[in-house]
């Protein structure tokens, strides 16, 4: 088991299998909040489901509406278990903050140091602690 650390933008605890995206993703038009499926036809992970997984991505892409898509996915129960970012993304964090306020639940959103981000692979088991500690196992 490897211990890593992230900076929480939205604090919380979660666990799940990692889904590491090769490219940024715009949730607006790129994620179906009803199914949790990536629907951006140009995205390398087209067809993957984020529901209950630890979504690892460089940063969100584009629209300020991404926060509303994350909010809707939380409401419908199709959101990722956690979101781990290589770069700060205030729009994704906003979706988590509003979800916590409205629904009393939200995926933790953390920014990782470069070496921690590079260490993650799809399928790894990731446990996110409320303090930003990550426990990772293959």
The gap from C-alpha 24 to its chain's centroid, in whole angstroms, comes to 11
List the catalytic residue out of 26, 63, 65, 68.
63
The strand pairing partners of 82, in sequence order, are: 54
Q: Is 26 known to be catalytic?
A: no
In the chain, the domains with their CATH numbers are 2-137 (3.50.30.10)
CA distances (Å), 2 to each of 42, 43, 80, 128, in order?
A: 33, 29, 21, 12
Secondary structure in 3-state letters for the chain: CEEEEEEEEECCCEEEEEEECCCCECCCCCEECCCCEECCCCCCCCCCECCCCEEEECCECCCCCHHHHHHHHHHHCCCCCEEEECCCCHHHHHHHHHHHHHHCCCCCEEEECHHHHHHCCCCCEEEECCCCEEEEEC
Per-residue pLDDT of the chain (138 residues; tens, 9 = 90+): 788 999 999 999 999 999 999 999 999 999 999 999 999 999 999 999 999 999 999 998 877 899 999 999 999 999 999 999 999 999 999 999 999 999 999 999 999 999 999 999 999 999 999 999 999 998
State the pTM of this model: 0.96
């Amino acid at each position: 088991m490897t211990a890593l650390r992230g900076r929480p933008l939205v604090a919380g605890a979660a666990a799940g299998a990692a889904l590491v995206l090769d490219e940024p993703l715009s949730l607006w038009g790129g994620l179906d909040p009803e199914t949790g499926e990536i629907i951006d036809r140009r995205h390398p992970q087209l067809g993957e489901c984020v529901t209950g997984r630890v979504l690892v991505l460089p940063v969100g892409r584009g629209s300020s509406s991404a926060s509303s898509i994350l909010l809707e996915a939380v409401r419908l129960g199709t959101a990722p278990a956690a979101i781990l970012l290589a770069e700060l993304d205030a729009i994704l964090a906003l979706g988590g903050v509003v979800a916590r306020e409205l629904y009393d639940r939200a995926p933790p959103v953390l920014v990782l140091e470069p070496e921690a981000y590079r260490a993650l692979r799809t399928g790894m088991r990731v446990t996110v602690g409320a303090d930003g500690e990550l426990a990772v196992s293959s």
